[in-house]
Amino acid sequence: MAKSKLEYIWLDGYKPTQSLRSKTKIEADFSGKLDDCPMWSFDGSSTEQAPGGSSDCLLKPVFICPDPQRKNGFLVMCEVLNADGTPHATNGRATIEDDDNDFWFGFEQEYFLYNTETNKPLGFPEEGEPGPQGPYYCSVGAKNAFGRNIIEEHLDVCLEAGLNVEGINAEVAPGQWEFQIFAKGAREAGDQIWVARYLLERIGEEYGVWINWHCKPLGVDADWNGSGMHANFSNSTLRTAGSKEVYDTICEAFRPVVKEHIEVYGADNHLRLTGKHETQSIDQFSFGISDRGASIRIPIATVERGWKGWLEDRRPNSAADPYKVAARIITTVKSAQVPA
């Protein structure tokens, strides 16, 4: 009788930033299919999701892929439900209104690799600062690139798991890296980002490195870019518009709801969205072609294709929940009064 290890993964109730949790379920003669993953439960009183007197929360499997790091293993992303089967208040995935998968998302996930002994990014000296940003972005060589063995291992396991990683690169600070994931469907895009984050956290355990998802871990006064999770998005309207007017109308729909977007774009974003370091100020809104200092960038590729393509919201930060980011973007795009 073959036995499989199913790693059930979910998001806890910690505020302002939820954390990943997981536990292993052993299943005999498991088919490898999502439909054959049973519902499970956990102690919500230990994850800030339930009181001790009524602590059971449910885990509803929503995404499965092979676990390349474990023999007979699978990774199972789950939604958290209340004991009565309704979505838990911490369940951002359940708020996404994209049942026909018309919305496509590509997230650019930035992060820092931190040395657990020095509590500084890899590549930072124990005392003082490294040289200013410039040579580290998309760099190669031991003077400028730090932690490549970790990110290469992460890339390999993500691809082996079947995640749709479209690229990786070193970012502007020592020890800062990025991976990009794309999916046709908002929920799956979020599922894959969370599973990729989980794999990176677990790999970090092997190397004595922790993953710092904070958007400005070096401080607001440090002359370094922060970490973002730029959200590239499209729907059938944006993919087929053929009109600058349609793009302008959709972008303008974001202007009156700046507050609503910032609320779900990650904690401490005021430290990152300062109007400097390729950002727009947190309380302002702008959009423009190829403008990395705008709230929303219209990629030049969209224009060159005759205004058929996608948009990039540059405001979500590295610790944001991709489910909540996608849900908010979808709501705003659907609100736009697009000309016929």
**128: confidence class by pLDDT, cuts 50, 70, 90:** confident
Do both 150 and 253 map to the same domain? Answer: yes
Examine the pLDDT at 339 and tell me if it is beyond 90.
no
Do both 120 and 234 map to the same domain? Answer: yes
- The residues, ordered by sequence, that sit 6+ positions from 164 with a Cβ below 8 Å of its Cβ are 181, 182, 183, 192
pTM greater than the 0.95 cutoff: yes
Examine the pLDDT at 26 and tell me if it is beyond 80.
yes
Chosen domain end from 91, 120, 151: 91
Do both 64 and 162 map to the same domain? Answer: no
Residue 36 within any structural domain of the chain: yes
Percent of the chain clearing pLDDT 70 (strictly above):
99
Residue 73 within any structural domain of the chain: yes
CATH of the domain at 169: 3.30.590.10
* Domain that includes residue 68, residue range: 3-91
- pLDDT tens, residue by residue, 259-308: 999 999 999 999 999 988 789 999 999 999 999 999 999 999 999 999 99
Residue 55 within any structural domain of the chain: yes
- pLDDT tens, residue by residue, 216-262: 999 888 888 899 999 999 999 999 999 999 999 999 999 999 999 99
Do both 265 and 176 map to the same domain? Answer: yes
Do both 66 and 117 map to the same domain? Answer: no
Question: Average pLDDT of the chain?
Answer: 96
Do both 122 and 85 map to the same domain? Answer: no
Q: Mean of the pLDDT values across residues 8-31? A: 98
Do both 74 and 108 map to the same domain? Answer: no
Residue 97 within any structural domain of the chain: no
Please tell me the total count of domains within the chain. 2
Do both 196 and 321 map to the same domain? Answer: yes
- pLDDT tens, residue by residue, 78-88: 999 999 999 99
Residue 98 within any structural domain of the chain: no
CATH of the domain at 69: 3.10.20.70
Do both 64 and 112 map to the same domain? Answer: no
Q: In terms of C-beta distances under 8 Å and separation of at least 24 residues, what long-range contacts does 152-157 make, across chains too?
A: 153/203, 154/179, 154/196, 154/199, 154/200, 154/203, 155/179, 156/68, 157/68, 157/69, 157/199, 157/203
**40: confidence class by pLDDT, cuts 50, 70, 90:** very high
Examine the pLDDT at 185 and tell me if it is beyond 90.
yes
Do both 60 and 131 map to the same domain? Answer: no
User: Given phi > 0 = left and psi -120 to 50 = alpha, else beta, which region is 68?
Assistant: alpha
Examine the pLDDT at 340 and tell me if it is beyond 80.
no
- pLDDT tens, residue by residue, 195-205: 999 999 999 99
